[in-house]
Amino acid sequence: MERIPVFRPHIGVDTLKHLTDALDVGWLGMGATTKEFEERIAAFLGLEGRFVVATNTGTSAFHIALRAAGIGPGDEVITTSFNYVADHQAIRMAGAEVVMCDIRDDNLGIDVAKAEALVTPRTKAIDPLHFAGIPCDMEGVYRLAKKHGLRVLEDASHAFGTEQGGRKLGSFGDITWFSFDPVKVVTSIDGGCVVVGSSEEVQQLHRLRLLGVDKDTTERYKNRRAWDYDVLSEGYRYHLTNIMASVGVSQIKRAAEFIASRQKVCRAYSDAFRGIRGVKVPPTDFTGVSPFIYSLRVLNGRREALIAHLDQRGVEVGIHFIPVHKHRFFASSRRGGMEVTDRVVQEVLTLPLHSLMRPDHVQRVVEGVRSFFA
């Protein structure tokens, strides 16, 4: 029996064509195609007066976003333990301290009331995750940030294309960052980007992205190098190459199609599972949600048995996440109570979701879950 993977990238002949065209240009590093990808991201997100800086991963996007926002040694950044460890590592890379907060039981995003209890004079920023593409409590996050003078760096790695109040995430707010890793809705094999509203911070991000070298971005965007340059700040080697960007360009052209196909699968799952006692479906009808994963909650300690049942039917699953406060390296980081996180991480189960799922795949997943609870 053909197994159904949890993730599968959607790479078609269009992507191959973009890739070979980019190779033919002969300028493989960061260049005009990187710029084109940034422009297409800006157009897709509907940005006005906001700017995109593409990077080689989402983790590096967050790292330089923190540095551009002035976060460094002595500062604390609040994020959730229920998140991928990339965020916590990037905060440490910036020299700041990780403070972990619990989540809400509904959207599995940050619990703002609990976050407020963690704020100290050292708290400089908050990094809320839009889990599974579903917006977190944005109003609460920005209210808290305003009250305590915090920067907000939204982790929209799961939510490229998600809307809030009719506007796409990234088109408003403080700083938003995305990942285009191999399994995301839109991939550039590996990649990410930062969206900011300040042209000064864009300049900083450009320097931080490429070893602190001035002029490099403007010249490289023309597929050439600046041979007369100065170094103005700290910097990393986080640029996105033309080759990776060409994959991103091919993918973003089809983003609306990818999102619609995923929404369709998510709706079929939720329709099939809503009536089952013993599970909780995501709290959305997926309108305006760009779903990276479909996260079903399996109650009453039955998740492992369901995983085994699905495995026998050739259905692969994932678990997002192991909470970061349980990892040895972060076990001593400051945190609040983790009552909801500790329960939810026993329940979450990521079901197969990608843009190439055939109706019989969806049916096999649905039947697999239903037969377990029958």
Ligand X SMILES: Cc1ncc(COP(=O)(O)O)c(C=O)c1O
Residue 154: CB minimum distance to ligand X, A? 11
Q: Tell me if 132 sits within 8 A of 82, measured CB to CB.
A: no
Residue type, 41: I
Site for ligand X in 174-193 (CB under 6 A): 179, 181, 192
Comparison of 123 and 187: residue with beta carbon closer to ligand X: 187
Closest CB 281 distance from ligand X, rounded Å:
21
Torsion angles phi and psi, residue 51, rounded to 5: -130, 150
List 79, 157, 250, 295, residue binding ligand X (CB under 6 A)? 157
SS3 316: coil
When asked if residue 158 is in the footprint of ligand X (CB under 6 A), the reply is yes
User: What is the nearest approach in angstroms of ligand X to the Cβ of residue 128?
Assistant: 11
Q: Are 312 and 369 in contact (CB under 8 A)?
A: no
What tokens appear for 26 in the block? Answer: 């002969």
Question: Which range binds ligand X by CB under 6 A, 80-88, 273-281, 323-331, 354-362?
Answer: 80-88
Region binding ligand X by CB under 6 A among candidate stretches 94-102, 151-159, 257-265, 366-374: 151-159
Contact between 59 and ligand X (CB under 6 A)?
Answer: yes
User: Residue 19 in contact with residue 249, Cβ under 8 Å?
Assistant: no
d(CA 31, CA 224): 7
Minimum CB–partner distance for residue 212 and ligand X (Å)? 21
Q: Which of 4, 42, 86, 252 binds ligand X (CB under 6 A)?
A: 86
- Beta strands (DSSP E) in the chain are 51-55, 76-80, 97-101, 123-127, 151-155, 163-164, 167-168, 175-179, 192-196, 279-280, 294-298, 334-335, 348-351
**Nearest-5° angle of CA 278, CA 282, CA 285?**
125
**Residue 129 lies near ligand X (rule: CB under 6 A):** yes
Q: Can residue 84 be called a binding residue for ligand X (CB under 6 A)? A: yes
DSSP SS3 for 76: strand
Q: With respect to ligand X, which residue has the nearer C-beta, 66 or 362? A: 66
Q: How far is the CB of 65 from ligand X (least distance, A)?
A: 12
Nearer to ligand X, 50 or 184 (CB): 184
- Indicate the residue among 196 and 369 with the shorter CB distance to ligand X: 196
- The only residue of 58, 282, 318, 352 in contact with ligand X, by rule CB under 6 A: 58
Stretch that binds ligand X, among 44-52, 70-78, 155-163, 271-279 (CB under 6 A): 155-163
CA distance 138 to 140: 5
Strand partners, 196: 51
Residues in contact with ligand X by the rule CB under 6 A: 57-59, 83-84, 86-87, 129, 155, 157-158, 179, 181, 192
